[in-house]
Amino acid sequence: MEKQTENGPTTNTIPRPTNPMVTPLLTDLYQYTMAYAYWKAGKHHERAVFDLFFRRSPFGGEYTVFAGLEECIRFIANFKFTEEEINFIRDALPGTCEEGFLDYLRQVDCSEVEVYAIAEGSVVFPRVPLIRVEGPVAVAQLLETTLVNLVNYASLVATNAARHRIVAGKSKMLLEFGLRRAQGPDGGISASRYCYLGGFDATSNVAAGRLFGIPLKGTHSHAFVSSFMSPDEIVEKSLCSADGSTTCQDFVGLVHTWLNKIQRTRLSIGSFGDTNLSELAAFTSYALAFPNNFLALVDTYDVLRSGIPNFCAVALALNDLRYKAIGVRLDSGDLAYLSCEARKFFQAIEKDFGVPDFGTMSIAASNDLNEETLDHLKKQGHEVDAFGIGTYLVTCYAQAALGCVFKLVEINNQPRMKLSEDVSKVSIPCKKRCYRLYGKEGYALVDLMVGENEPAPKVGERILCRHPFNESKRAYVVPQQVEELLKCYWKGSSEKVREELPPLKDIRDRCMKQIEQMRPDHLRRLNPTPYKVSVSAKLYDFIHFLWLNEAPVGELQ
């Protein structure tokens, strides 16, 4: 993403955000009123540190997959106002805005900003900063809403995808089919990207395929099936064999021959009556268009009485011409039962007609699937090889938002904290370093936050880890491996070394690997063990000193 010029400094070539609507105006008005007030008070240059974090993992789970970082860095790298945007801000601010402020905005960019973040695709936990932004308070403040927006949904949907992957197991194909039900066009595109990151194999979303190189999957819908009236409609009936050696002049007739054979033969699993011939026509047409990729949606009329026998007739005709059909998709009904019956049918065909491998035909299932239904299907037993998941996955139906926040933790080297009557909403002050400590078996044991200037925990050395707010919760840990979590992803005009933004595939690999480094009980779907997030003894003491200092003392009257 960044090119080293021959003998000079690095050149910034970070592209703009994927969605052109991500501009400095994609924020809350109050960021501008605050920026104006900071500027009026002469405070806008004061160096501030903000932490972006969440307070609770989604979906009743104990882990979250961090996603959205690349878009945040693209936004920051290209943060600059156009004259039109400045004019709009002038009009949008309440009252009269001094021109000096607009002159200030004209020269604002992120050259004085530094951004430290956990690697995208990491498994992350509550309260640990995912992103730390350091810079002039007015500029950092202007970034808030956009960064939170870009991380919130990305991490939520990536986590949802990872949870689906864990339930489905590694051997199943997981396909994201959510575009039509996503929350807006970009909800769809982000969903495809971040579901892939979280462990899905492919998407139906063509735009996402083009933008991010995600594998694309898809066959046909019910409308295609019902658009056909009868096999007589098919005009071009010839099909060349897979090896090009022969041409079948009447593929439609060949399909009919096979259908009759299936109907006449007393198959080992029973016999079949008439099927829907408009469905047969649709399948035949589809096979003529995609003889190497024949996959049929079999539930438009009746799965077992019509869809499956029709599919088999076409697949057997293709088999005569040395093509191997891919399989079927079920989109309604009892998926466990239907998939098992379909499997029996395919196995009967393999056995009764002597067609090798016909029994292993792929069975895909869709229709309002979610983490829970995947789990139920697994418990019931099924023969589904691939799951197409839409609505519940991409809208994160079980919990539609992750509560990311962006809190001031330091200004002018003074630690700051936000108090709240609700302890879970109290923020952890200070610029911090964050570490993940691993145990003997290679599993992550605890995340530890320490003050910026405290020494790093060392492998093999005992260290006290304290719950930030509960004085009785603490534990000694002797880490076997120590990983520093926050790395520099944007260095402004400083001389620091910046992490590269890896390709999506690498981020996905990181996610898969990180999940393997978690103890399985933390990942459990129901009643998972909480993963510990802690602070050093020194930071603990400081938090509680500052808290007492800031909170007003009550007076009982």
Site for a copy of itself in 324-383 (CB under 8 A): 332-333
Note whether 400 binds a copy of itself by CB under 8 A: yes
Among candidate residues 312, 318, 311, the one with its CA nearest the CA of residue 254:
318
| Residue range at the interface with a copy of itself (CB under 8 A); choices 115-123, 215-223, 248-256, 500-508 | 215-223
Total of residues contacting a copy of itself (CB under 8 A): 132
Judge contact between 160 and 59, C-beta under 8 A.
Answer: yes
| The pairing of beta strand 173-176 with beta strand 202-203 | parallel
Note whether 265 binds a copy of itself by CB under 8 A: no
Q: Is the dihedral of CA 126, 128, 130, 131 positive or negative?
A: positive
Residues in 422-441 at the binding interface with a copy of itself, rule: CB under 8 A: 422, 425
| C-alpha 210: how far from chain center | 17
Residues in 63-82 at the binding interface with a copy of itself, rule: CB under 8 A: none
Note whether 184 binds a copy of itself by CB under 8 A: yes
Note whether 159 binds a copy of itself by CB under 8 A: no
- Residue 152 or 536 with smaller CB distance to a copy of itself: 152
Among 26, 102, 478, 518, binds a copy of itself (CB under 8 A): 26
Nearest approach in angstroms of CB 123 to a copy of itself is 22
As a whole number of angstroms, the distance between CA 475 and CA 24 comes to: 44
Note whether 244 binds a copy of itself by CB under 8 A: no
| Residue range at the interface with a copy of itself (CB under 8 A); choices 219-227, 376-384, 495-503, 527-535 | 219-227
Nearest approach in angstroms of CB 250 to a copy of itself is 15
Nearest approach in angstroms of CB 409 to a copy of itself is 9
Which residue in this structure is represented by tokens 């292993």? 360
Among 223, 497, 526, 556, binds a copy of itself (CB under 8 A): 223
Which residue in this structure is represented by tokens 């259908």? 259
- Residue 81 or 438 with smaller CB distance to a copy of itself: 81
- Residue 183 or 347 with smaller CB distance to a copy of itself: 183
As a whole number of angstroms, the distance between CA 270 and CA 341 comes to: 11
Residue 378: how many other CB atoms lie within 10 Å: 15
Residues in 446-475 at the binding interface with a copy of itself, rule: CB under 8 A: none
Radius of gyration, alpha carbons of the chain: 29
Rounded to 10°, the helix 371-380/335-353 angle is 50
Note whether 173 binds a copy of itself by CB under 8 A: no
Judge contact between 493 and 11, C-beta under 8 A.
Answer: no
| Residue range at the interface with a copy of itself (CB under 8 A); choices 59-67, 270-278, 377-385, 450-458 | 270-278
Note whether 319 binds a copy of itself by CB under 8 A: no
| The pairing of beta strand 432-438 with beta strand 444-451 | antiparallel
- How far the first Cα of the chain sits from its last, in Å, is 63
As a whole number of angstroms, the distance between CA 108 and CA 89 comes to: 14
Among candidate residues 330, 316, 244, the one with its CA nearest the CA of residue 284:
316
Residue 86: enclosing H or E segment and its boundaries?
Answer: helix 83-92
Judge contact between 314 and 284, C-beta under 8 A.
Answer: yes
- Residue 288 or 449 with smaller CB distance to a copy of itself: 288
Residues in 91-120 at the binding interface with a copy of itself, rule: CB under 8 A: 92, 94-95
Note whether 403 binds a copy of itself by CB under 8 A: yes
Note whether 417 binds a copy of itself by CB under 8 A: yes
| Residue range at the interface with a copy of itself (CB under 8 A); choices 388-396, 454-462, 489-497, 536-544 | 388-396
Which residue in this structure is represented by tokens 């145990």? 439
Backbone φ, ψ for residue 531 (5° rounding): -90, 140
Please give the structure tokens belonging to residue 274.
């008439």
- Residue 86 or 482 with smaller CB distance to a copy of itself: 86
Among 253, 270, 455, 530, binds a copy of itself (CB under 8 A): 270
Among 155, 159, 190, 319, binds a copy of itself (CB under 8 A): 190
Q: Is the dihedral of CA 395, 400, 406, 409 positive or negative?
A: negative
- Residue 72 or 507 with smaller CB distance to a copy of itself: 72
- Residue 101 or 358 with smaller CB distance to a copy of itself: 101
Helix residue spans in 213-366 (DSSP H): 222-226, 251-264, 277-289, 308-320, 335-353
- Residue 48 or 445 with smaller CB distance to a copy of itself: 48
Using DSSP's 3-state secondary structure scheme, residue 303 falls into helix
Nearest approach in angstroms of CB 93 to a copy of itself is 8
Nearest approach in angstroms of CB 286 to a copy of itself is 5
- Residue 313 or 444 with smaller CB distance to a copy of itself: 313
- Residue 148 or 365 with smaller CB distance to a copy of itself: 148
| Residue range at the interface with a copy of itself (CB under 8 A); choices 298-306, 433-441, 454-462, 483-491 | 298-306
Q: For residues 297-309, b (16+ Cβ closer than 10 Å) or e, as one string?
A: bbbbbebbebbbb
